[in-house]
Amino acid sequence: MTRIVDMFRKSPFDLLYKHGQMVTECTRLVKPLFEAIFNGDEAARQDITKRISDAEKQADLFKMEIRRIMPKSVFMPVHREDLLRYLKIQDDLADTVEDIAMMASLKKLTAPPKLREEIIAFLEIVLQVCTLADEATNHLKPLVDAGFKGEEFIEVLELAEKAEVLEHQADEKGLQVARTLMALEDEMKPSDLIIWFRILKYVGKLADYADKTGEWLRNMLAK
């Protein structure tokens, strides 16, 4: 058993976990970013945007290292193609957060109070899905040690199921926010309206990618 675990340690799982930590750093900055936007705090928005960009770049470094060492893996408890697909979906989360930050940097955005309330409620659901994805990734190292079975395996399956339910709620809430945005179009600048639509689309993608990480991890472990 010790020999098998040692072989696992030569695999990219530790790096995948570190990559997930950088992705989580990005998603945790989403709410503070929106708070800075709503408060009109340009200095805070710029600082958070830089922190997001730095975390995304670090995630990319881990991603490249994982891809570099994959052919050297002596033993893999899952298919390489599945692991690379999981890495790609997880990386899409960080990329999408950066897309949100870059879109928000195009101009100083404004939003009516009603829209702010709807966006915050939307964010809360989306970030819950992201948190579940983060928890699933955190189970990777214990899963390796446990031989991809037992309580850790069951917990990952449960996390994936919870994420799937919340992702559907996020879709419904996203549609509601879009309707609110359309209802307020006469009160908003056309440029703000366009940018908010694009930002909200990216926010919805966060929930989608987070759900897919759990789903792909579940499918990967079930093979």
The CATH number for 159's domain is 1.20.58.220
pLDDT of residue 154: 81
Residue 181 belongs to what domain range?
Answer: 2-222
More confident residue, 214 or 194: 194
- Rounded Cα distance, 203 and 198, in Å: 9
pLDDT of residue 46: 97
pTM here is: 0.89
Look at the chain and report how many structural domains it folds into. 1
pLDDT of residue 128: 94
More confident residue, 144 or 112: 112
- Rounded Cα distance, 116 and 32, in Å: 14
Cβ distance 214 to 160 under 8 Å? yes
Cβ distance 112 to 186 under 8 Å? no
Cβ distance 92 to 207 under 8 Å? no
The neighbour count for residue 222, using CB atoms within 10 Å, is 9
Reported as a single tens digit per residue, the pLDDT across 170-182 is 999 999 999 999 9
pLDDT of residue 4: 40
Q: For residue 184, what is the DSSP state?
A: T
Cβ distance 122 to 173 under 8 Å? yes
